[in-house]
A and B are shown apart, each in its own frame.
Chain A
């Protein structure tokens, strides 16, 4: 019995050894896979914990997660007042798969947070426009989602889908939840950092950038414009008789007026402009890549917009007006200091106040004087579709010293309307849009400033002609000859 027992236990050991030997390659494989996953996980954790910027965290997701999971599409929802879904791997998947992935993520998020987000309210980012490969036409069979939770707050969710049945197992769930946890913490840190930054650079009352940020950005944009020899402009504006508003209607109405001015500035400016509260009732606009003429158009637009918006302020009987001072690096790139740019805008604002308020004054780089454009310039918005047309000609006419002085308004030739120029100050003219796309001659003359050519004291006019309808070009040349402006057009490309 003993011998049998011994034999039996010996046999078991041999069997176990044999089984172990046959299992070895599989165990090795598993071990190798575990090691790989561990390395990727470590790399991912390091990457997201070091990156406090949302875009960089998303970059880490796109870099590392395909090495951990075999998914068709991965989607990441960040819930906020403007929810966004970031889609990864969509280039390999059908639009229907992407849609299912995003819809599933939104449904799960609603289950977890109780917040319903409509698909049309979500901004979807990622490459979702590529063509559908054969593989992704198969129905989705697996999906795995996890909430992005940090400090008890549900920030969104992450989900992945696959056309394979049972594509994700318990190990995937474990890894994915770890990833979601890391991401939740990373996005929260990024959010907190952004909020802290916003608090540091924003004005509490108006929500605009504060003066400290203004100074930093002004230096930064000025350095950039000097380096690349591009124009930049600065607008300072001040609410006229603001003290009277406070004294008459109270400080709470005064605060609302400042908020209305801030909204007008945001509405009237472009996305690239930096809108700031300079202090009290003074505001500032930094206009990168903007020449003086464009800055004046914007300033004039604001001058008209502020009264319109301020008359809606509750408790204010009437409206407020603003004075603006504009300066630009235009024409003096590299030869100007940032303090001078600021002083010039400030001096122009002072002049606008002295000349009766509710006007735009600017520092003219041509004669070094501060001038007002009040009542002299009719602003016209350039049609967008015209601006998108290719430039066919550039006109660089030599107009002579006094050629444009006093010439203004509409000039008609052969049924084609042409607005040439309006003098806005001594030695400077504003040239307005010319023609309409539906008219026989489609011409755009870009708004430009006439300024003396270097040595001869002549005026130079730069303009861009977009295109001509059939037979219109000879008529245009004829018209220029009639006006004494012949030989102006220098073709860039042949029409």
Chain B
């Protein structure tokens, strides 16, 4: 049986963080999906998750379907994150998406996603400060 990690801080803001990032991802999906379709966008989301999971393996379980990110898997992924790394990890996820959008179509896709990303990042920073 694995020994509990006593140094790990409980992620008390997991629910709030999930709400913030989940909403941001939903908004991005709504903005970008009409342009590039569900299949491609789903591949981009999955790619962003994979890239972020390289540094934060807890996010590897985040499931992306043809309707966007699965909230339940997001919730459990965020709960798996250390409280300290929740904000940075989720910000990295959003940034990874922006990088992909920029690489594919320059500002056309990125500009649609930026407002949601900025808003979510501000909320996450605030949440981190409260913690």
Contacts and interface: CB of A to CB of B under 8 A. Distances in A.
Contacts of A169: 108
B127 interface: no
Interface residues of B, number: 21
A37 to B, nearest CB: 15
Contact of A111 (B34, B42, B46, B100): B100
B37 A181 contact: yes
Interface string B22-64: 0000000000001111011011101100110000000000000
Nearest to B100: A111
Q: Chain B's interface: helix, strand, loop or mixed, by majority? A: helix
A147 B40 CA distance: 7
Nearest to B99: A111
B40 A146 contact: yes
A6 B87 CA distance: 58
A447 B36 CA distance: 62
Given A146-B36, A146-B40, A174-B36, A114 B51 contact: yes
Contacts of B44: 112, 147
Contact of B103 (A107, A150, A178): A107
Given A112-B100, A152-B43, A142 B106 contact: yes
A178 B37 contact: yes
A146 B104 contact: yes
Contact of B35 (A113, A149, A177, A181): A177
B103 A108 contact: yes
Which interface class (under 10, 10 to 19, 20 to 34, 35 or more) fits A? 20 to 34
Nearest to B66: A152
A143 interface: yes
Contacts of A178: 37
Q: Which of B44, B100, B105 has the most CB of A within 10 A?
A: B105
A169 B35 CA distance: 11
Interface string A110-128: 0111100000000000000
Contact of B40 (A144, A168, A181): A181
B47 A113 contact: yes
A147 B47 CA distance: 11
Contact of B47 (A111, A174, A177): A111
A145 interface: yes
B108 A177 contact: no
A170 B40 contact: no
Given A111-B47, A114-B50, A149-B40, A173 B103 contact: no
A119 to B, nearest CB: 18
A154 interface: yes
A173 B40 contact: no
A434 interface: no
B100 A173 contact: no
Nearest to A111: B103
B43 A173 contact: no
A173 B39 contact: no
B124 interface: no
A173 B47 contact: no
B109 interface: yes
A113 B51 CA distance: 9
Contacts of A113: 47
Contact of A181 (B34, B39, B109): B39
Interface in B70-102: 99-100
Given A149-B40, A150-B39, 17 more contacts: A111-B47, A111-B99, A111-B103, A112-B43, A144-B105, A146-B36, A147-B40, A147-B43, A147-B44, A147-B104, A149-B39, A149-B43, A152-B43, A154-B43, A169-B108, A174-B35, A181-B37
24 contacts: A107-B103, A108-B103, A111-B47, A111-B103, A112-B43, A112-B44, A112-B100, A113-B47, A114-B47, A114-B51, A144-B105, A144-B106, A145-B103, A145-B104, A146-B40, A147-B43, A147-B44, A149-B40, A152-B42, A152-B43, A168-B108, A170-B35, A170-B108, A177-B36
